[in-house]
Structure 1
Amino acid sequence: MTSTSLGADRVFVVPADLGGPSGGSAYNAAMIAALRADDVAVVERRVPGAWPRPTEDDLDALADALASAREVVVDGIVACAAPDRIADAAAAGVRVVILVHLPLPAEFGLSEAEADTLARGERAALEAADLVLCTSAWARDDLRARYDIAAEVVRPGVDAADPATGSAPPRLLILGAVTPRKNALLALSALAPLRARDWEVVVAGPARDAHPYVAEVEAAVEALGADRARVVGPVTGRRRERVWREADLLLLPSLVEPYGMVVTEALARGIPALVASGTGAVEALAAGTDAGGSLPGLALPADEPDAWTDALARWLDDADLRAAWRAAASDARSRLRGWPHAATQLRDLLRW
């Protein structure tokens, strides 16, 4: 890459569109806003493309963004799919920092060949970077195991929120993209044997039209009955706040989850959660809990619906358990770090 005139000192490069709301996009937006609120001059550059599978035009747009500043933080889904552009920018004297949300080969449903291709590119990009950041210890440990690359962890913040009021009967919330990785079907399957109990479930999040998995989820919701199960699509703004306000328990059975910001969103409202064991969501569930303290929920295997059924049955049947989890979640609210704290940590690591 040839040297060009620099238009800004610091640039944050993010994907322009990932097909709907995502935790990574929410993290980027909140972090940029927190940096600016702290008087850090940072320019956001949104690069088009079907990342992590860019076209040549997408790669050229990235090269322009990389050449526009002396220091650039690049979202990992972009940077790790463009190792040559990252190497060129570094060689031209740009300080390149890569922010990894989910290591590319860790995405669920990839073929072995796809995962290998993504891994080769990701390794090369990370090795060319001046600094590698991750949004969770889970992601950091994955990168270390795959590539023997060290990374610093900058966990998400969370916005303060009023406690949820809940619903009667108890309302369960599945909030996230309707994809195989998020695994909503397991939670719905776990609820099927519990029809004799009083509960409701809401599935909220973006879905790709005509995707077979979306049809399976919709069929599972229909089988549970319109009186107790609904799919409401993407929720933002006031709709999202209403969904949170009426929830009593979050269900996040992801097969792969680097952190799960939705979990700390729940805790910020005093809502406990069931999450998948072995994922970064366990880290999020413990975010506001002292060492040795009671977790505001439970971690369960993402491939064992019977375990989820048993846990849900206990929660529905045992008022003391519901109260204990709710108390633990309420206690965690005061210990969750906000976005200003997260932005301060990022500034320190970037020396901004």
Structure 2
Amino acid sequence: MSLPAEAPRTRAGRSGTGRAVVVPRDLPGPSGGLTYNREVLKVWKEDGVDVVQERLEGAWPDPDDHARRALSELLLRYSSVLVDGIIASAAPQQIAGARASGVQVSVLMHLPLPAETGLSAAERASAQAMERHALQQASTVVCTSEWARADLRARYGALPTQVAAPGTDPAPLVDGSSPPRLLFLGAITPRKNPLLLLQALEPLDSVGWQLTIAGPAGPDQDYVHSVTAAAQRCRGRVQLTGAVTGERLQRLWNAADLLVLPSLAETYGMVVTEGLARGVPALVGAGTGAEEALAAGQDPACSEHFWSLPGRAVDPCDAAAWTEALEQWLQHQELRSRWRANAAAHRDRLRTWRQTATQLRRALQW
């Protein structure tokens, strides 16, 4: 969606008119947050919703003074604004100023800043204090799962929260592979935790399996090198592709038999429902929002919740537990068939992006 040639401007201290969604201009991708923003805006455009997308420059969530001033000016151009959390969490004063001028400022939280790995104790405390202040200024805080809402409340206490979980696009059932192919989709970062996955697979050298790790390299080059070295120890079974999109991504999905997402933190885990839409089950990190995604499409009338799940949640800090779970899945055809049948059964009950966009509009009162 292109930007207007010139957005409406107002005098400082007074709010403008109209509605906008503010997103960062230069985030590396692909990512679940970028997909969420894009798909919601696409539906709103199709439905004729009058909203402007503003792509804000700056090294968010660590902006300089110029980027902060640009955000302050931008917020005052509109009467109601939805700000991506990676921007809003680093801008409590800018949100407070806009609210004081009568602007409705809502925040779309994809991931709390302190949930990212690699922060020192001081950095995490600083991020938490800044984010708490920012969210307390917001008109509404939109979370992408019930798990994420509970997590925010545990971190920051009572907030004006709403939930609009991600949707999915319909997709064909996959063909799979022989030997079974595991698919990891995500950035090569400590939070996404691919190193634990490789450590869990290394003892399974007598079992047939293949693994594709598809995602961009993260900023921690030592971690990326550790993942690369661990992949090389698996003697040709692991393919590292880098970031993948479009037709190439569809081919990876079609070859997949199991999605593996051992993340230490996820507010939802959109790749899980993207897999379910294709009939691909998943192993996910226990205690994260990915458990909610794994249960998406669950038949509310089903009393056998565990047996009808299209996969399982496993402690993302326990490599031995992942080894055990993967070995069970690889060694038992009955388990593989049940998980795949359960994934296929979930497909028709998954939320659509239109439902997500409608729910988000209600949350924002747009």
Q: Same fold (TM over 0.5)?
A: yes
**Match of residue 303, structure 1, among 317, 330, 352:** 317
The residue aligned with 1:12 is: 21
Letter in structure 2 aligned against 1:81: A
The residue aligned with 2:187 is: 177
**Match of residue 234, structure 1, among 235, 238, 243:** 243
Letter in structure 1 aligned against 2:221: H
Asked if the contact 2:195/2:230 (under 8 Å) is kept, the reply is yes
The residue aligned with 1:198 is: 208
Instruction: Please state how far the C-alpha of 1:19 moved relative to its aligned partner.
Output: 2.3
What are structure 2's unaligned runs of at least 5 residues?
Answer: 1-10
- What stretches of structure 1 move > 4 A for 4+ residues in a row? none
SS for the counterpart of 1:224 is coil
Asked if the contact 2:15/2:98 (under 8 Å) is kept, the reply is no
**Match of residue 169, structure 2, among 137, 140, 159:** 159
Distance, in Å, in 1 between the alignment partners of 2:219 and 2:78 is 39
The residue aligned with 2:222 is: 212
Write the mapping of 1:1-40 to structure 2, written as runs, cut at 5 A.
2-3=12-13, 6=16, 9-40=18-49
Aligned-residue sequence identity (percent) comes to 53
The residue aligned with 2:8 is: none
Letter in structure 1 aligned against 2:24: P
Q: Is 1:58 aligned to residue 72 of structure 2?
A: no
Instruction: Please state how far the C-alpha of 1:109 moved relative to its aligned partner.
Output: 2.5
Instruction: Please state how far the C-alpha of 1:193 moved relative to its aligned partner.
Output: 0.9
Letter in structure 1 aligned against 2:112: P
Instruction: Please state how far the C-alpha of 1:210 moved relative to its aligned partner.
Output: 7.2
Letter in structure 1 aligned against 2:322: W
Letter in structure 1 aligned against 2:228: E
Distance, in Å, in 2 between the alignment partners of 1:210 and 1:326 is 35
The residue aligned with 2:144 is: 135
Q: Is 1:349 aligned to residue 358 of structure 2?
A: no
Q: Is 1:340 aligned to residue 354 of structure 2?
A: yes
Distance, in Å, in 2 between the alignment partners of 1:110 and 1:168 is 40
What is the TM-score of this pair, normalised by structure 1?
Answer: 0.96
The residue aligned with 2:80 is: 71
SS for the counterpart of 2:105 is strand
Q: Is 1:103 aligned to residue 112 of structure 2?
A: yes
SS for the counterpart of 2:241 is strand
The residue aligned with 1:186 is: 196
Instruction: Please state how far the C-alpha of 1:4 moved relative to its aligned partner.
Output: 5.7
- In structure 2, relative to structure 1, the CA distance for the partners of 1:31 and 1:251 (3 Å cut) is same
Distance, in Å, in 1 between the alignment partners of 2:192 and 2:15 is 43
Single out whichever of 172-181 and 189-198 deviates more from structure 2. Answer: 189-198
Distance, in Å, in 1 between the alignment partners of 2:58 and 2:339 is 42
Cα deviation 1:230-260 (Å, max 9, x = unaligned): 1000011111111111100000000111110
Cα deviation 1:197-240 (Å, max 9, x = unaligned): 111100000004770111111111111012x2110000111111
The residue aligned with 1:121 is: 130
**Match of residue 90, structure 1, among 95, 99, 104:** 99
Distance, in Å, in 2 between the alignment partners of 1:209 and 1:120 is 24
Distance, in Å, in 1 between the alignment partners of 2:219 and 2:362 is 42
Distance, in Å, in 2 between the alignment partners of 1:65 and 1:246 is 45
**Match of residue 317, structure 1, among 328, 331, 334:** 331
Distance, in Å, in 1 between the alignment partners of 2:290 and 2:15 is 43
Compute the RMSD of aligned alpha carbons: 1.4
Letter in structure 1 aligned against 2:183: L
**Match of residue 267, structure 1, among 273, 276, 286:** 276
Instruction: Please state how far the C-alpha of 1:276 moved relative to its aligned partner.
Output: 0.5
Distance, in Å, in 1 between the alignment partners of 2:293 and 2:238 is 26
Cα deviation 1:101-131 (Å, max 9, x = unaligned): 1111222222221111112211111111111
- In structure 2, relative to structure 1, the CA distance for the partners of 1:276 and 1:5 (3 Å cut) is closer
Aligned length: 350
Distance, in Å, in 2 between the alignment partners of 1:214 and 1:108 is 14
Cα deviation 1:1-41 (Å, max 9, x = unaligned): 923673x5110001112222211111111111112222211
SS for the counterpart of 2:96 is helix
- In structure 2, relative to structure 1, the CA distance for the partners of 1:100 and 1:131 (3 Å cut) is same
SS for the counterpart of 1:69 is coil
Asked if the contact 1:103/1:142 (under 8 Å) is kept, the reply is no
Distance, in Å, in 2 between the alignment partners of 1:40 and 1:257 is 30
SS for the counterpart of 1:196 is coil
Letter in structure 1 aligned against 2:47: D
